[in-house]
Amino acid sequence: MDRFIRSCFANPSSNRCYKRRMEQLAIKLLGFAAAACTTLAYAPQFVKVWKTRSTEDISLGMFLVMVFGILLWLLYGLLSGDAPLIVANAITIVLAGGILWMKLKYG
């Protein structure tokens, strides 16, 4: 593996290196699509609670632990300098935090 990386530095335009780069790009795009989904998923729940003001079936425990966990992810992203992690969790904390706030307000 290490030898393969070194050979790609020596000859980056080889066919094998190109294929490998394309594979890694596809995996990265898959990661971005995954992050977009698990971030934006909170939006319809936020809108629903905003409109109905009804939160009885929503678990307080879920959103307390979730918002705390997202805060830890944000801190982890900041400390390891991971931009996608920071952006995704900054958006998620607003949406999930908003749902938690409405749960506490409407019960």
Q: What residues make contact with its own copies under the rule CB under 8 A? A: 27, 30-31, 33-45, 47-49, 52, 54-63, 65-66, 68-70, 72-73, 75-76, 79-80
Cα–Cα distance for residue pair 107/53, rounded to 1 Å: 9
Residue 56 in 3-state DSSP? coil
- Which residue's CB is nearer to its own copies, number 12 or number 75? 75
- Which residue's CB is nearer to its own copies, number 7 or number 59? 59
First to last CA, the chain: 55
Minimum Å gap between C-beta 29 and its own copies is 10
- Which residue's CB is nearer to its own copies, number 13 or number 59? 59
Cα–Cα distance for residue pair 45/48, rounded to 1 Å: 5
